[in-house]
Amino acid sequence: MNEGHYSEGGPARISSTNAYLLCKIAQMNNWDDLRYFLQLARNGSLSAAARALGVNHSTIARRIGAFEKTHGIKLFTRHPEGYRLSDAGEEIYARALTIEAENHAVERLLYAGDTRLSGKLVATMPHDLANFCIIPHLQVFTEQYPDVDLELVVSPGLKNLSAREADMAIRLTPAPPDNLVGVELAKLRHGVYFSDEASFHSKQPNLIIWRHETQLPDWATEHFPESNVVLRVDDLASMYAAVKAGLGIARMPCYLPDVLKDSHIYRTPISLTPSTWGVWVLHHADLRETARVRAFKKFLSATITEQKSLIEGEMSCLKKLD
């Protein structure tokens, strides 16, 4: 008979070990205890857990140490590479995840009923979309809703909308996660760009490619097989700056060069394979009726739609390489 299942004679007994651990979880009645525990379990180091929670690493160590001492249980073992969960810690971690999910669900439901056009609103988006497509138009929103305390988390990584690390997200993706709702506002299109500052032969242009590309990318192999790689970068703004300086040509999403409308930057008339990726505005389903979420979603939709022809490369200044 499996533990935790019912038999004809009544409920099965829970093992003494599991009962002890469940008791310890129940004693974590301060949500902060669970937050500190979960972040250290996820990150494996005090410094990473501290960054995630916005506290000092000594605070994490002190809170975990105090809990272990108070309840006579060892949650972690120290290793050269960081902290690992003990056997007891593994048991508590599995159950703590359920408690965390329920806590986040309650927070979302409370937030979902908020009809105020005021208060904190956290939106996350990639650097380049934020800096070149959203922030230049943001005054429209801040003037219309001065009581909304807007925070932008500008980062390439995905924030956990279910855990309310952010309320909304703009993401470049072929398909958003199933647990989020939203709308695709534009399709991404890429082009090969160069500057009138460039001085190279059209058959052997210098290339600027992504750092992770160890070989010539397909577009370069097809159209410029004799080209030379002069620079690898890991940031779109850096790639654009290198093209503008005349270092070489690069394949970039059209939204950066075309939105800037730089008269010295041109797109070659090379036809590239259409991207399956799009620009999506996303939020958790529970927050669809929150007033400030709806207001910011409306602003983002209008702002991106206004620039759709630029994002999709319909307004590029075309020019052949000399």
The dihedrals phi and psi of 184, each to the nearest 5 degrees, come to -85, 120
Instruction: Give me the mean pLDDT over the 227-245 stretch.
Output: 94
| Pair 159, 176 in one domain | yes
pLDDT of 208 above 50: yes
Instruction: Give me the mean pLDDT over the 312-322 stretch.
Output: 77
pLDDT of 182 above 80: yes
Is 316 inside any structural domain? no
Tokens 């050269």 belong to 80
Higher pLDDT, 265 or 2: 265
Is 318 inside any structural domain? no
Instruction: Quote the mean pLDDT of the chain.
Output: 81
Is beta strand 168-173 parallel, antiparallel or unpaired with respect to 278-284? antiparallel
| Pair 101, 55 in one domain | yes
The dihedrals phi and psi of 129, each to the nearest 5 degrees, come to -65, -40
| Pair 172, 287 in one domain | yes
DSSP string, 235-279: -HHHHHHHHHTTS-BEEEETHHHHHHT-TTEEE-----PPPS-EE
Give 65-80 pLDDT, tens digit per residue: 888 888 788 888 888 8
Is 107 inside any structural domain? yes
| Pair 183, 211 in one domain | no
DSSP string, 123-182: EEE-HHIIIIIIGGGTHHHHHH-TTEEEEEEE-SSPP-TTTTS-SEEEEEESS--TTEEE
Specify the CATH number for the domain of residue 19.
Answer: 1.10.10.10
Angle at which helix 57-71 crosses helix 31-43, to 10 degrees, equals 110
Is 272 inside any structural domain? no
| Pair 55, 138 in one domain | no
pLDDT of 293 above 60: yes
Q: Please give the distance of CA 296 from its chain centroid, rounded to a whole number.
A: 18
What the block records as the tokens of 289 is: 């009726």
| Pair 173, 218 in one domain | no
pLDDT of 290 above 70: yes
| Pair 214, 147 in one domain | no
What the block records as the tokens of 146 is: 């001065």
pLDDT of 226 above 80: yes
pLDDT of residue 233: 97
Is 200 inside any structural domain? yes
Is 322 inside any structural domain? no
pLDDT of 124 above 50: yes
Q: Which residues of 105-130 are buried (b: 16+ CB within 10 A; e: fewer)?
A: eeebeebeeeeeeeeebbbbbbebbb
Ranked by mean pLDDT, which of 192-206, 228-242, 265-279, 284-298 comes out on top? 228-242
Higher pLDDT, 165 or 173: 173
pLDDT of residue 243: 95
| Pair 255, 130 in one domain | no
pLDDT of residue 136: 95
Q: Which residues contact 317 (CB under 8 A, 6 or more apart)?
A: 263, 265, 266, 267
| Pair 283, 183 in one domain | yes
- Least confident range of 30-39, 55-64, 109-118, 224-233: 109-118
| Pair 161, 303 in one domain | yes
pLDDT of 215 above 50: yes
Is 139 inside any structural domain? yes
Put residue 44 in one of left, alpha, beta given phi > 0 → left and psi -120 to 50 → alpha.
left
pLDDT of residue 55: 83
CA 207 – CA 237 distance, rounded (Å):
16
User: Residue 252 — very low, low, confident or very high, per pLDDT cuts 50/70/90?
Assistant: very high
Specify the CATH number for the domain of residue 286.
Answer: 3.40.190.10
What the block records as the tokens of 84 is: 């690992």
Task: Give the structural domain span for 249.
Answer: 190-267
Give 11-59 pLDDT, tens digit per residue: 333 344 444 444 444 444 466 778 888 888 888 888 888 887 778 888 8
Is 87 inside any structural domain? yes
| Pair 126, 101 in one domain | no
Bridge partner list, 206: 228
Considering 54, 80, 112, which residue would you say is the last residue of a domain? Answer: 112
Higher pLDDT, 311 or 1: 311
User: How large a percentage of the chain has pLDDT more than 90?
Assistant: 34
pLDDT of residue 95: 82
| Pair 292, 178 in one domain | yes
What the block records as the tokens of 305 is: 């739609």
Is beta strand 190-195 parallel, antiparallel or unpaired with respect to 265-267? antiparallel
CA 262 – CA 241 distance, rounded (Å):
12
Tally of domains in the chain: 3
User: Residue 180 — very low, low, confident or very high, per pLDDT cuts 50/70/90?
Assistant: confident
User: Residue 88 — very low, low, confident or very high, per pLDDT cuts 50/70/90?
Assistant: confident
pLDDT of 319 above 80: no
